[in-house]
Amino acid sequence: MYRRLLGVFSLSLGLWIAGCATAPPRFVPNGVYTPRPPKPPDQVTLYYFERDVPYKYEELGRIFLVLDPGYLNDPAAQIAAIRAKSGEIGADAVILAPSYANYSSGYYTGGRRGGAGENYTYGGTLYSGIAIVKK
């Protein structure tokens, strides 16, 4: 009985800790990346289509979010995180690219006489971005 309670407690603690922290966005440069001075996120322009960019530009690389159920429910938080990361690397703008993502999670506790479990899946839009600078 003690081992079972300890297992449930450890699992609950792990899920609680994982749920409280969202991993930062990842920047993957297109090639050799030359560091640029950072900019405040509000100075990074957002574009939803490449055709909307009114100037010639150079792509610095791609910004990816780590799949998180909190992000799937909050597109504004996704865009804010991408914009902040774009500012950190000195981008002038970011071209957003939506995609559909699924997040599944669950648990199973069992013994010799059976057990119980739960599984759930979230689905929604997950954005990534192409960080660009003016040529």
- Report whether 18 contacts 60 (CB < 8 A): no
The domain 23-104+121-134 is placed in CATH, from the list 3.40.1350, 2.60.40, 3.40.50, 3.30.110, at 3.30.110
pTM above 0.95, yes or no: no
Residue 112 sits at φ, ψ, to 5 deg, of: -70, -25
Instruction: State residue 125's pLDDT score.
Output: 85
Q: CB 113: neighbour CB atoms within 10 A?
A: 5
Q: Distance between CA atoms of 78 and 23, rounded to whole angstroms?
A: 12
Per-residue model confidence as pLDDT tens for the chain (135 residues): 545 544 444 444 454 444 556 788 999 999 888 899 999 999 999 999 999 999 999 999 999 998 877 777 889 999 999 999 999 999 999 999 998 887 776 655 555 555 555 666 667 788 999 999 999
Q: Distance between CA atoms of 135 and 131, rounded to whole angstroms?
A: 13
Instruction: State residue 87's pLDDT score.
Output: 97
Instruction: State residue 67's pLDDT score.
Output: 81
Instruction: Provide the residue ranges of all domains of the chain, joining segments of one domain with +.
Output: 23-104+121-134
* Residue 3: both structure tokens together: 């081992």
